[in-house]
C-alpha cells in the first residue's frame, strides 16, 4: 500500500529539476486535511456546529467550521514557508506571508476551505478545494494581487478533500488525477484510485432544478433532453444533486456525468467562484479526460479580473459536455 507522502516523493523523483517545494506544500495540505477531518468527525459532540452570526465577503452566513477550516489551512500553509500567500473564499483580501522564507517561496494557494459547509449540520458530505500557482512577482518581495489573478491554465496543482463516509484527497499536478483514502485508525492517506479517468459519457446530471424557470433556454432544452426516453442513448438520465460541489463532482468523476451551475435571472454571472472552485475543478476534470466551460468558453482560459469573480460552470463527461454546449450555442447565444 502506497501512502500519499510516498507517492508525492516518487512523483518528484521523476523530475530531475524538482526542488521538493511543491511536495512540501502538498504535505502541508495533507496535514491540514487531517486536522479538519478530525474536527468534522467530532463536530456533533463539541460546540462547532452552527453559524457564527457573521457574513463572509460573499454575503453568506459563515459556519463555525468555515472559520476553523480557514484558519487551519492558513496556519499549515504558512508554517513550512513553502507558500508566499493565500487567497481564501472566506477572506476579502489576499493573505501575505512575510517571513524571510515565505517571501522567497514561489507558490501561492487559492482555496475554498470548506465547500458545502451549510450541510454539516445534517451530516452531508462536504469538502475542501485548493489550487496552486507559481507567483509572477519577484522572489524576495511580498506577494501581490496579480499573483492570484491568473487563468487556470497556469495552475501547477489542484485538488480537493472530500469528508464523507470515507475521507479522500484527490489531486493533480498535470500528470493525471490520483485519489488517496484515509485510514482512520492510522490517520494515513493510502493510494486507492490511481490515474482516474471519467467515462466519456454517463447517466447522471447534477443541477438545482428548483431554479429551472430562471435558467437560460439552452439549459432548459438540455434538461428536457436528459429526461427524454431514448434507450439507444441510455436516456432518461438520473438526476443527482447534493448541493455540495465537491460531493457532486466526486461522484460524477468516478461514475460519469455532468454538473451544471448556470447563470440565472437573479445571478446573471453565475454563483460559483472562478478562482476557488471552477479553475481547480476544471484542471482536475481535464486531467481525467473530461471538460469544463462556462457554457461557451473553456473555464481555464478565462482571464480573472477580481479575486471573488463568479462564473457559470458546466463540467463533466466529454460527450455530455458536447450536448449541453451545442444547446447553449443554439438556444442561448451570447450577447
Residues 46 and 171 in one domain: yes
CA separation for the pair 320, 222 (Å, rounded): 10
Give the cell for residue 296: 461557451
Q: Tell me: do 70 and 142 sit in the same domain.
A: yes
Residue ending a domain, among 158, 193, 228, is: 193
Reduce the DSSP state of residue 302 to 3 states and report it. coil
With respect to residue 199, please indicate whether it lies within any of the assigned structural domains. no
What's the pLDDT tens digit per position in 207-217?
999 999 999 99
The domain boundary, picked from 140, 164, 193, lies at 193
Name every residue whose Cβ is closer than 8 Å to that of residue 184 and which is 6 or more positions away in sequence.
Answer: 41, 167
Whether pLDDT at 323 is above 90: yes
Q: What is the mean pLDDT of residues 191-197?
A: 97
Same domain, 141 and 241: no
Residues 252 and 317 in one domain: yes
Contacts of 50 (CB under 8 A, 6+ apart): 63, 64, 121
Which residues share a beta bridge with 132? Answer: 109, 157
- Answer yes or no: is 57 within a domain: yes
* Band (138; pLDDT cuts 50, 70, 90): very high
* DSSP label of 230: B
Which grid coordinates belong to 115? Answer: 465547500
Can you tell me which residue has the cell 504558512? 78
Mean pLDDT (whole number) for 156-180: 95
| The pLDDT of residue 190 | 97
Residues 185, 315 within the same domain: no
Which of 259, 223, 321 lies closest to 115 in space, CA to CA?
A: 259
Q: Cα separations (Å) of 222 from 30, 170, 216?
A: 39, 29, 10
Q: What pTM value is reported for the model?
A: 0.94
pLDDT for the residue numbered 12: 75
Residue 248 has pLDDT above 60, yes or no: yes
Note whether 152 and 277 are same-domain residues.
no
Which pLDDT score is estimated for 44?
A: 60
The whole-angstrom separation of Cα 207 and Cα 71 is 31
Whether 89 is in a domain gets the answer yes
| 182 in the same domain as 326 | no
In a domain, 53, yes or no: yes
| Range scoring the smallest mean pLDDT among 100-114, 118-132, 186-200 | 118-132
Computed over every residue of the chain, the mean pLDDT equals 91
**pLDDT for residue 334 is more than 90:** no
Judgement on whether residues 111 and 235 belong to the same structural domain of the protein: no
- pLDDT at residue 48, as a whole number: 54
42-82 pLDDT tens trace: 766 555 555 555 556 666 666 788 899 999 999 999 998 99
Which residues share a beta bridge with 206?
A: 259
pLDDT tens-digit readout, 249-303? 999 999 999 999 999 988 999 999 999 999 999 999 999 999 999 999 999 999 9
pLDDT at 124 over 70: yes
Residue 266 lies in a domain: yes
Cα separation, 206 vs 245, in Å, equals: 10
Do 53 and 150 belong to one domain? yes
End of a domain among 193, 224, 248? 193
Q: What average pLDDT does range 91-116 have in this prediction?
A: 94
- Containing structural domain, residue 173: 4-193
The CATH number of residue 151's host domain is: 3.30.540.10
Alpha-carbon torsion, ordered 235, 328, 152, 247, to 10 deg = -30
Helix residue ranges, H only, the chain: 4-13, 21-41, 64-79, 100-103, 217-227, 245-255, 279-287, 318-331
- Give the Cα separation of 63 and 56 in Å (integer): 10
More confident residue, 333 or 147: 147
pLDDT at residue number 41: 81
Q: Is residue 265 part of a domain?
A: yes
Integer Cα distance of 259 and 64 in angstroms: 28
Whether residues 188 and 59 share a domain: the answer is yes
Q: Indicate whether 76 belongs to any domain.
A: yes
Residues 45 and 136 in one domain: yes
pLDDT band at 16 (very low <50, low <70, confident <90, very high): low
Q: Is residue 198 assigned to a domain?
A: no
Q: Residue 291: what pLDDT?
A: 98
Specify the DSSP element, H or E, that contains 265: none
What integer is the mean pLDDT of 299-326? 98
User: What is the mean pLDDT of the segment spanning 111-126?
Assistant: 85
Domain total for the chain? 2
Return the exposure string of 3-30: e unless at least 16 CB atoms fall within 10 Å of the residue's CB, then b: bbeebbeebbeeeeeeeebbbbbbbbbb
Read off the CATH number of the domain in which 262 is found: 3.40.190.80
159, 66: one domain:
yes
| Across 78-82, 304-308, 330-334, least confident range | 330-334
Amino acid at each position: 500500500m502506497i501512502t500519499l507522502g510516498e507517492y508525492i516523493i516518487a512523483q518528484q523523483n521523476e523530475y530531475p529539476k524538482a526542488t521538493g517545494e511543491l511536495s512540501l506544500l502538498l504535505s502541508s495540505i495533507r496535514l491540514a486535511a487531517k486536522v479538519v477531518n478530525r474536527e468534522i468527525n467530532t463536530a456533533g459532540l463539541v460546540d462547532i456546529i452552527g453559524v457564527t452570526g457573521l457574513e463572509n465577503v460573499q454575503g453568506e452566513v459563515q459556519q463555525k467550521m468555515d472559520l476553523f477550516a480557514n484558519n487551519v489551512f492558513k496556519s499549515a500553509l504558512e508554517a513550512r514557508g513553502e507558500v508566499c500567500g493565500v487567497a481564501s473564499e472566506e477572506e476579502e483580501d489576499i493573505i501575505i506571508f512575510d517571513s524571510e522564507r515565505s517571501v522567497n517561496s514561489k507558490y501561492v494557494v487559492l482555496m475554498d476551505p470548506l465547500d458545502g459547509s451549510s450541510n454539516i449540520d445534517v451530516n452531508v458530505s462536504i469538502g475542501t478545494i485548493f489550487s496552486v500557482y507559481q507567483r509572477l512577482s519577484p522572489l524576495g518581495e511580498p506577494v501581490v494581487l496579480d499573483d492570484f489573478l491568473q487563468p487556470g491554465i497556469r495552475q501547477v496543482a489542484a485538488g480537493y478533500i472530500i469528508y464523507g463516509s470515507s475521507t479522500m484527497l484527490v489531486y493533480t499536478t498535470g500528470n493525471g488525477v490520483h485519489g488517496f483514502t484515509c485510514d482512520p485508525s492510522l490517520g494515513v492517506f493510502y493510494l486507492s484510485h490511481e490515474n482516474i479517468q471519467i467515462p466519456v459519457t454517463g447517466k447522471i446530471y447534477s443541477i438545482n432544478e428548483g431554479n429551472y424557470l430562471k435558467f437560460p433556454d439552452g439549459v432548459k432544452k438540455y434538461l428536457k433532453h436528459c429526461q427524454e426516453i431514448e434507450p439507444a442513448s441510455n436516456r432518461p438520465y438520473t438526476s443527482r444533486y447534493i448541493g455540495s460541489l465537491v460531493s457532486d463532482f466526486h461522484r460524477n468523476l468516478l461514475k460519469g456525468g455532468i454538473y451544471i451551475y448556470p447563470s440565472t435571472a437573479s445571478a446573471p454571472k453565475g454563483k460559483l467562484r472562478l478562482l476557488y472552485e471552477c479553475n481547480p475543478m476544471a484542471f482536475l476534470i481535464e486531467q481525467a479526460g473530461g471538460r469544463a466551460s462556462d457554457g461557451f468558453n473553456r473555464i481555464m482560459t478565462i482571464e480573472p479580473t477580481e479575486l471573488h469573480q463568479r462564473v457559470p460552470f458546466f463540467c463533466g463527461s466529454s460527450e455530455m459536455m458536447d450536448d449541453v454546449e451545442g444547446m447553449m450555442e443554439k438556444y442561448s447565444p451570447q450577447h
